[in-house]
């Protein structure tokens, strides 16, 4: 099989949440053609979803070495760093992704999450609002705004966001359980 065929099979396994087998296919694609940034990016993502963040970071670094404009590798690199509690480094990766694509909603959203975790609620709100401008009515954004407002003791406003998030996405049961 060709590297493209292995990559396609890897994506199919990935889409089926079979991250171990997808990783195997992506590695076969890399062995045939080690010069494709996306192969490393997806290999990193398969590792990420197995909570193998340090290994994923190595893949994202290689992906960016091959294509320094791969905003998704920066984004996922940042996610891995965030999960390792390396917030400042993660912020740097998200900012790099946003330099490449300033409409990358997940970049702003993930920055908002970090600022929320650091209890910098005003900065978190700023990032969540930027995220909302790009992807309005996203239930995760709406719910996250509720969390920030709740932590600022703005309970009525928080409740409004929680209720709105359930209206937007009633199938997300954890949102309803928060009320």
Query: Quick one: pLDDT at residue 177?
Result: 55
The whole model's pTM is what?
0.85
Number of structural domains the chain divides into: 2
Question: How many whole angstroms separate alpha carbon 94 and alpha carbon 115?
Answer: 12
Q: Are 43 and 63 in a shared domain?
A: yes
Query: Which residues of the chain fall short of a pLDDT of 50?
Result: none
CATH of the domain at 50: 1.25.40.10
Are 63 and 113 part of one and the same domain? no
Burial of 136 (0-12, 13-18, 19+ CB in 10 A): exposed
Last residue of a domain, one of 102, 137, 162: 102
Q: Are residues 173 and 113 in the same domain?
A: yes
Same domain, 18 and 93: yes
| Residue 162 and residue 142 share a domain | yes
Residue 173, pLDDT score: 53
- pLDDT at position 149 is 84
What pLDDT was estimated at residue 172? 62
Give the C-alpha separation, 42 to 63, whole Å. 9
Residues 107 and 130 reside in one and the same domain? yes
Same domain for 97 and 110, yes or no, is no
Looking at the fold, whether 91 and 126 belong to one and the same domain comes out as no
Q: Which domain holds residue 138?
A: 103-179
- Among 102, 135, 160, residue at a domain's last position: 102
On whether both 78 and 94 belong to a single domain, the answer is yes
Confirm if 11 and 22 have CB atoms less than 8 A apart.
yes
Domain limit, last residue, from 102, 124, 159: 102
């Amino acid at each position: 099989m060709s590297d493209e065929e292995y990559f396609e099979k890897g994506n199919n396994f990935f889409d089926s949440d079979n991250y171990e087998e997808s990783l195997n296919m992506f590695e076969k694609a890399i062995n045939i053609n080690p010069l494709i940034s996306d192969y490393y990016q997806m290999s990193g993502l398969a590792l990420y979803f197995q909570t193998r963040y340090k290994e994923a970071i190595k893949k994202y670094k290689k992906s960016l070495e091959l294509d320094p404009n791969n905003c998704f590798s920066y984004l996922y690199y940042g996610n891995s760093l965030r999960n390792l509690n390396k917030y400042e480094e993660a912020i740097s990766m998200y900012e790099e992704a946003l330099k490449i694509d300033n409409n990358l909603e997940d970049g702003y959203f993930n920055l908002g999450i970090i600022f929320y975790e650091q209890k910098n609620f005003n900065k978190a709100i700023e990032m969540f609002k930027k995220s909302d401008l790009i992807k309005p009515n996203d239930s995760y954004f709406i719910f996250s705004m509720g969390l920030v407002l709740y932590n600022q003791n703005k309970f009525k406003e928080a409740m409004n966001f929680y209720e709105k998030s359930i209206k937007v996405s009633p199938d997300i049961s954890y949102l309803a359980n928060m009320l």
